[in-house]
Amino acid sequence: MLLADDEAMIRAGVRAVLAAGPGIEIVAEAADGREAVEAARAHRPDVALLDIRMPRLDGLSACEEIRRTLPDTAVAVLTTFSEDAYIARALGGGAAGFLLKSGDPHELIAGVRAVAGGAAFLSPKVARHVISELGGERLTRGAAARARTESLTAREREVLALVGAGLSNAEIARRLHLVEGTVKGYVSAVLDRLEVGNRVQAAIVAYEAGLVVETGHGG
């Protein structure tokens, strides 16, 4: 994976946390967004973990460029509570993960693994802020989300809840004792029924509808 942050101490801390996660290898680091894009093109990592505020090119612009030119590289964003206003743009730019710099180290590892596996991952604390930031009064949004999920079958709601919890198709399959191809079909059906474009948007609906139980990652 690629790690980009303009603060060397933050990079060192994140590197140390991820080193504790078996199977996670940092192949490149960058101190600004332009370096991050160039490093991503050179190394083609599975995941790019980007800070939002960086010189030369900010993390959001870097995310958009990486997703446009390297569709096989998933992007996760490192954020703080002071940066809520940027998260909606990051969603639109194709970010699949939102992780807190000050969050639980295990959550960081779980988030990187989830994104690498093609899943969406929102730190539960970030998710609450995302929901608030994306507009409107939260109770109203919750009611609207619950209404949207009423058209789903019980199994589809179960799958949606696990998407919201950051599980990949393979992990959902193991959890529900299904084959992965069946889960893929359920996820596609859920995205179609909810009229959302990707797993991150589906995850937000799951949070808004109260389907996600914050008991950690299932991997």
Reported as type and span, the H/E element at residue 96 is none
User: End-to-end distance of the chain based on CA atoms, in angstroms?
Assistant: 19
Reported as type and span, the H/E element at residue 162 is helix 154-164
Q: From the first residue on, what is the mean pLDDT of each consecutive set of 10 residues in the chain (219 residues)?
A: 93 90 89 96 95 89 92 87 63 78 82 85 70 54 78 91 89 94 94 87 86 57
Q: At what angle do helices 154-164 and 199-208 cross, to 10 degrees?
A: 110
pTM over 0.95: no
CA 23 to CA 12: how far, in whole Å? 18
Assigned token pair, 99: 């992780």
Question: Who's near 61: CB < 8 A, 6+ residues apart?
Answer: 33
